Amino acid sequence: MIKNMNKINRLFAILLLVPALALAAGDHVRLDRAPINEEDHASLQRGARHFANYCLNCHSASYMRFNRLQDIGLTEAQIRDNLVFTGVKVGELMRVAMDPKDAKNWFGVAPPDLSVIARSRASADGSGADWLYTYLRSFYRDAERPTGWNNTIFANVGMPHALWELQGEQVLAERKVRGEGYMKTEMALKLDKPGQLTPAQYDEMVADLVNYMVFMGEPVRSNRKTIGMFVLMALGLLFIFVYALKKEYWKDVH
């Protein structure tokens, strides 16, 4: 009996260590903090425009309807005239006409749906917003890749750099880093050919795009937080009456 209990305890300890070991074995990268504000409707509107212009050509957002953009201050006419390019109705889902089979032949894998990408990319290294913000700023030229592009946080990525005309072309270059009493060499991104935007402008543009993608992953998030606060306040008020009732009910006992 004691031997069996020891075996069970050892097995239980191993199972507890498995997640930690798996996490330690994973590839960890340093993510930049995404400077987003989900309450900034102007930023969300710019991000929605960037998403429709640069992402919606290949990636769908099939769990998001165009008319949900009214939640960030856009009118139905503004959505129809500026963000709907395929002639679909404003109430329809954000889908693309690209055939998944064709996409797989062109890119090696069909572009994923982006409806909840900001939520699915959350990890121990940072939020999904941080991952997206870093990812979209980490493409570099790589002649060995079929698309001519690679990414420092998504090695051998199949997606080409859709925003390269805005950002320009980055390359991996060696740089010297001074440590405590020594110098070491590491690879870092370097802007080789400037784009249409300055680095600061490009970072701001990406922040707006990521801000929108976070909103798209849960459009009711702001309302959920507000409702949650009211629920907690109501429960707190109810607790006062429940506690008073308890004291009245048990006064003869105590």
pLDDT grade, residue 9 (50/70/90)? very low
Given a cut of 90, whether residue 16 has pLDDT beyond it is no
Q: What is the mean pLDDT of residues 74-94?
A: 91
Handedness of CA 100, 51, 117, 199 (dihedral sign): positive
Given a cut of 50, whether residue 122 has pLDDT beyond it is yes
Given a cut of 70, whether residue 64 has pLDDT beyond it is yes
- Asked if residues 31 and 126 have their Cβ atoms less than 8 Å apart, the reply is yes
| 3-class secondary-structure state, position 234 | helix
pTM to 2 decimals? 0.77
Given a cut of 50, whether residue 160 has pLDDT beyond it is yes
The model's pLDDT over 162-205, given as tens digits with 9 standing for 90+, comes to 999 999 999 998 877 776 777 777 889 999 999 999 999 999 99
Distance CA(254)–CA(228), nearest Å, equals: 36
What does each C-alpha distance from 233 to 141, 230, 239, 240 come to in angstroms? Answer: 54, 5, 10, 11
Residue 98: φ, ψ to 5°: -65, 135
